[in-house]
Structure 1
Amino acid sequence: MKLRSFRLRLGLLSVGLSGMVLFGFTLYATSVIQRVGINRIDRELRALADAQIRREHPRDHWSQLDRSLRAQLVPSGEPALLVLVTDRDGDLVFQSPAWPESLSTDRLPLPLDQAPEAWLEAPPPIRRGDGGPPPDRRPPPDMFVRGPVYETIGDRTSRWRLMTIANEIVTFTLAMNLDVVQVEIDQFWSRMLLAAPLCLLLLAVGGWVIGQTALRPINRMASTAEAMTAQRLDARISTSGSDMEFARLIQVFNQMLERLEAGFRQATRFSADAAHELKTPLAILQAQMERSLQQAEHGSQEQRTCAEQLEEVQRIKVILHKLLLLSQADAGVLPITPEPVHLADLLRDAAEDASLIAPNRSVSLSLPEEIVVHGDRALIAQAIENLLTNAINYGDPEGTITLALTAHADRALISVVNTGPPIPPAERAHIFDRFHRGDSSRSRRVDGFGLGLSLAREIARAHGGTLNLTRSDEESTQFTLILPRHPA
Structure 2
Amino acid sequence: MDTPQEEAFDRLARLAAQLLDVPLTIMSLVDSERQFFKADFGLPSPFRESRQLPIDASLCRYTLEGDPIISGNAPADPFLKFHPSTGPWGIVALIVLPLINPEGHVLGTFCCIQPKVREWTEQDLTVMRELTASIMTEINLRNQIQKLKAEQNLRDTFVAALTHDLRTPLSVAKMSVQVLGKRHADLPGVQTSVARVSGSLDRAERMIQNLLDASRLQAGKRVSLEMTECDFHALTSQTLDELAALYPDRFVLKAQGLFKMRGDPLGLRRIVENLASNAAKYGAPGTPIEVLLSRDGRQLVLQVRNQGTPIPATDLQTIFEPFHRTVSATVSAQKGWGLGLPLVKGLAEAHGGKVRVTSSIEEGTCFTVTLPDEAGSFDISFLGMSRGA
* TM-score of the two chains, using structure 1 as the length reference: 0.39
Q: Which has the higher strand share?
A: 2
Determine which structure has more spread, i.e. the larger CA radius of gyration: 1
Q: Which has the higher helix share?
A: 1
* TM-score of the two chains, using structure 2 as the length reference: 0.48
